[in-house]
């Protein structure tokens, strides 16, 4: 009897910052595949709060007791997926606007790379969680501790450090008058 091919999935994202919603998708996705790779990437259209090395380090710390592999990548997700010999891309869906965007990506990834996409609906408590919104709250001086329901403690600690550094960095001197 032939051996069944291992089902490998890649859960790609910027993860800036990593949220409990991301971790929820990972926990549920682990049960669907033989191997799950969390692929931390760079989105050139978004300004980063954490470097890719910081994000990979946090993700590895958070997932150290799991069988999940964390990798960083650059370039097209579909290229990374093929390189990893994965059979699917795992994506979390929060709402209808996510579905529209992710549907377009899934069709493109299937057409270009022959890779299927598997969607997992976000848990109710994470449906409104957005890394972009968290970055905005933090950059405007919001209370990071207020985000404890949607962020892991390690991320809150790192965000506090970033806020503290922003508070003590000297202001840039005014440009000299001509």
pTM of the complete model: 0.87
Q: Is residue 119 part of a domain?
A: yes
Q: Is residue 168 part of a domain?
A: no
With b meaning 16 or more CB within 10 Å and e meaning fewer, what string describes 15-34? bbbbbbbbbbbbbebbeebe
Q: pLDDT at position 47, please?
A: 84
> Cα–Cα distance between 75 and 9 in angstroms, integer?
18
**Residues carrying an active site annotation:** 22, 46, 94, 131
Q: pLDDT at position 72, please?
A: 97
Number of domains in the chain: 1
Q: pLDDT at position 171, please?
A: 45
Tens-binned pLDDT, residue by residue, of the chain (178 aa): 667 788 999 999 999 999 999 999 999 999 999 999 999 999 888 889 999 999 999 999 999 999 999 999 999 999 999 999 999 999 999 988 889 999 999 999 999 889 999 999 988 888 888 888 888 888 888 888 888 889 999 999 999 888 776 654 444 444 444 4
> Cα–Cα distance between 93 and 81 in angstroms, integer?
19
Q: Is residue 150 part of a domain?
A: no
Range of the domain at 61: 8-127
Could you tell me the CATH number of the domain that includes residue 115? 3.40.50.620
Q: Is residue 39 part of a domain?
A: yes
Taking the CB of residue 67, how many other CB atoms lie within 10 A of it?
9
Q: Is residue 53 part of a domain?
A: yes
> Cα–Cα distance between 130 and 156 in angstroms, integer?
15
Q: Is residue 133 part of a domain?
A: no
Q: Is residue 113 part of a domain?
A: yes
Q: Is residue 141 part of a domain?
A: no
């Amino acid at each position: 009897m032939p051996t069944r091919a291992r089902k490998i999935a890649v859960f790609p994202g910027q993860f800036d910052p990593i949220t409990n919603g991301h971790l929820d998708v990972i926990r549920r996705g682990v049960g669907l595949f033989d191997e799950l790779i969390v692929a931390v990437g760079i989105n050139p259209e978004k300004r980063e709060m954490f470097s890719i090395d910081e994000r990979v380090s946090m993700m590895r710390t958070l997932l150290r007791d799991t069988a999940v592999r964390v990798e960083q990548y650059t370039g097209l997700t579909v290229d990374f997926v093929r390189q990893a010999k994965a059979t699917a891309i795992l994506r979390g869906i929060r709402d209808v606007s996510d579905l529209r965007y992710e549907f377009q990506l899934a069709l493109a990834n299937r057409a270009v790379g022959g890779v299927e996409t598997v969607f997992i609906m976000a848990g109710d408590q994470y449906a409104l969680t957005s890394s972009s919104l968290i970055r905005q709250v933090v950059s405007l001086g919001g209370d990071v501790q207020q985000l404890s329901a949607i962020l892991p403690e390690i991320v809150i600690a790192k965000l506090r450090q970033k806020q503290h550094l922003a508070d003590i960095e000297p202001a840039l001197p005014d440009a000299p008058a001509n």
